[in-house]
Amino acid sequence: MEISKLEQLTNLSKGYKAYLYDCDGTLADNMGAHKETYIKVAANKGHVIEGDIIDELAGWPVINVIEEINKKYGTDFDSLEFKELKYKLFLDEYIAHTLPIVHVVDHLRAHVGKVKIGVVSGSGRVAVEKTLEVLGIASLIEVMVCAGETEHGKPFPDPFLKAAKLLEVNPEDCLVFEDGEAGTIAATAAGMNWVRIDHL
């Protein structure tokens, strides 16, 4: 009998004191929506961009993604303005329809009260909080670290190290759940083990 993804996660995550979950693409099945908002904002400004660069930079803070878009496409988007337009579009048109990645959300729910639980995201706090509310798990999260809340975002280790510090857990006692390379690079740099939920 094939072992379920939830069972795989449960088996892989034994022996840790804290779980640190990425939000977009890990707890929330919303990467397609995020990709569409980048493409739409660019289109509204008269530029066509492909979604592949968004996939490649999954987990990066939005401002850094926009900087990379400017490099690749020779555009001159104002990163702060673009970010605000992207989040407004996402909050207005997409976020209410967010669905969970069921086995990851179920894994989180099953461990409430047993291990410490944090969310570490490359998105802004308002979007992350609203996403977790839509998923019905906002009250289960003990600590959140979001874009702009550390000197460097993923793929640097800063966000994960801050979450561990806030949870009062040593980095080596934390397990990270991710769906992107930026997050796993950051987790490794923070001295944490990780699971790619999209590779189960």
Residue 59 has pLDDT above 90, yes or no: no
pTM for this prediction: 0.92
Asked if residue 90 lies in contact with residue 62, where contact means CB atoms within 8 angstroms, the answer is no
Looking at the chain, the whole-number percentage of residues with pLDDT higher than 70 is 99
Task: Give the integer Cα–Cα distance in Å for 116 and 125.
Answer: 20
Q: Which helix (H) or strand (E) holds 174?
A: strand 174-178
Helical segments of 90-156, H only:
102-111, 125-135
pLDDT of 58 over the 90 cut: no
